Amino acid sequence: MLELAHLPVVDVHCHPFRNRGPVTAEQFTDLTAFGGGSREYMEAGGVVVTDDVHAELQRITRDTLYFRRMLRDLAAFFGCEPDLATIVTHRNRAVTEDYTGYVRRLYADAGLTTLIADFGMPLPMLDVDTVQSELPVEVVPIFRIEPLIADLLKLNIGWSEFRQRYDDEIADALQHRGYKGVKSIIAYRTGLDISPLSRTPDQGYQALDAIRRGLGGGSMKKLRDHLLCRALELCMAHDVPMQIHTGMGDFEVNLVYCRPAYLMDLLRFPAYRGCRVLLVHTGYPYHGEAAYMANVLPRVYCDVSEGIPFAGHAARRIFSEVLEMAPISKVVYGSDGYTLPEINYTSAKLAKQALGQVLTDLVTDHMLSEAEAQEAAGLILAGNARALYQLA
């Protein structure tokens, strides 16, 4: 078995979090639940969560393989039984003594050195410097366009000002506020079936006008499609990658129009082929589509986050199937971790195990030499992400 424990890890897609101090076992379960299956997340979205429903959400989370695996990783880390109450006691003690020191030990155990974090979730946005000050690893912020679009829609402004502010805000984040890339969750809103012709000059103007007059008729989709195309252009102008959410996600995702294949027309269009695009979550469970696109489109990359860790033992299959078509240099590791540092930790541990197994199989099958497999591990876990984001 290829040994990857010593390798550094860049988490290419996750979300920023603050020190929440000690938590109860119930809160720990809530905060690490997948897909917005927590009381806090649902209530923030205006969903009423009764105590009965909450008890059910708790049970569902604790019954996932991902959660069971996380308990095992943490039990090994603390040298205790893989029992939720015991683990929470240990982590609370560590967090109370020295939060940053605890995260340092945790992340050193997994080799985590860098978190590339989408600051568009949670909302209101966390302050980048404050998040960085609590974490013992490099934090690289990514700018999400949807909160900006929501803010601009609340203003009583016409299209020319809307367009100008949209451009200015993204440019300012990239040039002056340390953001290293742009992100869109349009798959949560109006779907990935975006015509490359959405950038025609009139589309934004007409769509905003129709929204203002309450006409509907797909005007919100037209506006979002137009602005996504503009974001691709801005990424090219500023030489940063664009992350696009593909595949499964929180319960609000448009599960029909989230398939990477819907992006094919847009990303092969000559005007956008120059943009480096990271297909976040590799479109899981449609990861074969994303891997194919990473093969035929020279600037498209696959990020295995969310499938790893939340699809549990799919981690091995995801790496194996993505590497069928995606070139080694186009596959990047990510976790989609949020809220607590333990998610990023267990994800990195799981990814190293799964990638080690897959690369060992590839050596056995004469697809790679042992040296090539070792090099591929370094690239997938960190090197590709560092090159993509031009990190020192």
Residues that bind Zn ion (CB under 5 A): 336
Least distance CB 381 / Zn ion (angstroms): 19
Question: Nearer Cβ to Zn ion, position 135 or 244?
Answer: 244
Find, among 312, 329, 338, 377, the residue nearest to 66 by Cα: 312
225/336 with CB nearer Zn ion = 336
Q: Shortest approach of Zn ion to residue 389 CB, angstroms?
A: 16
Least CB distance to Zn ion at residue 237 (A)? 25
Specify the residue, 146 or 336, whose C-beta has the smaller distance to Zn ion: 336
CB nearer Zn ion, residue 240 or residue 253:
253
Q: Phi and psi at residue 65, in whole multiples of 5°?
A: -65, -35
Tokens of 56: 């059910």
Q: Kindly state the smallest distance separating residue 5's Cβ from Zn ion, in Å.
A: 26
Q: Which is nearer to Zn ion, 11 or 336 (CB)?
A: 336
Which CB, 102 or 286, lies closer to Zn ion?
286
Shortest-Cβ-distance residue relative to Zn ion: 336
Which C-beta is closer to Zn ion: that of 207 or that of 351?
351
Query: Across the strands, what pairs with 331?
Result: 302
Beta strands 182-184 and 138-144 are parallel
CB of 336 to Zn ion, least distance (A): 4
Q: Please, what is the minimum distance in Å from the beta carbon of residue 338 to Zn ion? A: 7
Query: Shortest approach of Zn ion to residue 242 CB, angstroms?
Result: 15
